Chains A and B, each alone.
Chain A
Amino acid sequence: MSYQWVQRFKDELAQAWTVAIKDIRVYYLRPGMIMFGFMMPFFMFFSFSVRRELGAEEGLARLLALTVFFTAGAAGPFIIPTERRIGTYDRLLAAPMSLLTLLLGKTAVGAFFAIGVSTVALLAGLLFFGVNITQPALLIAGILLGSLSFSALGLVFGSMPTTNPGDVQMPSTLLRWGLLFISGVFIPLSEMAPAARFIAYLSPLTYAQDLMNQAVLGRSMFNPWIDMAVLFVSAILLLWPSHRLHKRAKVLGR
Chain B
Amino acid sequence: MNHAIKVENLTKIYGKPGKGVTAVDHIDFEVHAGEIFGFLGPNGAGKTTTQRMLTSLLEPTEGRILIYNQDLAHDSYPAKRMIGLVPEESNVYTELTGWDNLMFTASLYRVARGERNERARRILEAFGLWEQRDMKAETFSKGMRRRLSIGMAIIHQPSLLFLDEPTPGLDAQSARAILSLVRQLNAEGATVFLTTHLIEEANQLCDRVAIINHGKIAKIDTPENLRRNIQRVQSIEVALEPNGHIHGEALASLPGVTTSVKLGDKWRLYTEDPPTLLPLVMNYTASQGLRILSLNTLLPSLEDVFLEITGGKIGAIQPAQQADKPRRRGKGGGR
A residues adjacent to B (C-beta < 8 A): 8, 11, 14-15, 18-19, 22, 25-26, 86-88, 90-98, 247, 250-253
Q: Are B14 and A253 in contact (CB under 8 A)?
A: yes
Q: Are B56 and A91 in contact (CB under 8 A)?
A: no
Give 1 or 0 for each of B54-98: 1 = CB within 8 Å of chain A CB.
011111000000000000000001001101010101011101100
Beta-carbon nearest neighbor of B52 in chain A: A253
Other A-B pairs, 15, CB within 8 Å; known A94-B80, A250-B58, A253-B14? A8-B77, A11-B110, A15-B107, A18-B104, A26-B95, A90-B85, A91-B87, A91-B105, A93-B56, A94-B57, A94-B83, A94-B85, A97-B108, A250-B59, A252-B14
Task: Give the contacting residue for B107; candidates A14, A87, A92, A98; CB below 8 A.
Answer: A14
Residues of chain B lying within 8 A (CB to CB) of residue A18: 104, 107-108
Q: Are B91 and A90 in contact (CB under 8 A)?
A: yes
Judged by a CB distance under 8 angstroms, whether B109 is at the interface is yes
Give the number of chain B interface residues (Cβ < 8 Å): 29
Residues of chain B lying within 8 A (CB to CB) of residue A93: 56-57
Min CB–CB distance A113 → chain B (angstroms): 16
21 A-B contacts (beta carbon < 8 Å) = A14-B110, A15-B110, A18-B108, A22-B93, A22-B104, A26-B93, A26-B96, A86-B91, A87-B91, A88-B91, A88-B92, A88-B93, A90-B85, A90-B87, A91-B91, A94-B55, A94-B56, A94-B57, A95-B109, A96-B80, A96-B110
- Majority secondary structure, A binding face: helix
Residues of chain B lying within 8 A (CB to CB) of residue A88: 91-93
Q: Are B81 and A91 in contact (CB under 8 A)?
A: no
Q: Are B85 and A253 in contact (CB under 8 A)?
A: no
Min CB–CB distance B115 → chain A (angstroms): 15
Cα-based distance from A152 to B150 in the complex (angstroms): 33
Min CB–CB distance A91 → chain B (angstroms): 6
Residues of chain B lying within 8 A (CB to CB) of residue A25: 95-96, 100
Residues of chain B lying within 8 A (CB to CB) of residue A98: 77
Task: Give the contacting residue for B80; candidates A90, A95, A250; CB below 8 A.
Answer: A95
Report B29-68 residues with CB < 8 Å from chain A CB.
Answer: 49, 52, 55-59
Judged by a CB distance under 8 angstroms, whether B152 is at the interface is yes
Min CB–CB distance B297 → chain A (angstroms): 46
Cα-based distance from A53 to B49 in the complex (angstroms): 61
Cα-based distance from A252 to B59 in the complex (angstroms): 8
Beta-carbon nearest neighbor of A8 in chain B: B77
Cα-based distance from A220 to B105 in the complex (angstroms): 46
Q: Are A96 and B95 in contact (CB under 8 A)?
A: no
Q: Are B89 and A87 in contact (CB under 8 A)?
A: yes
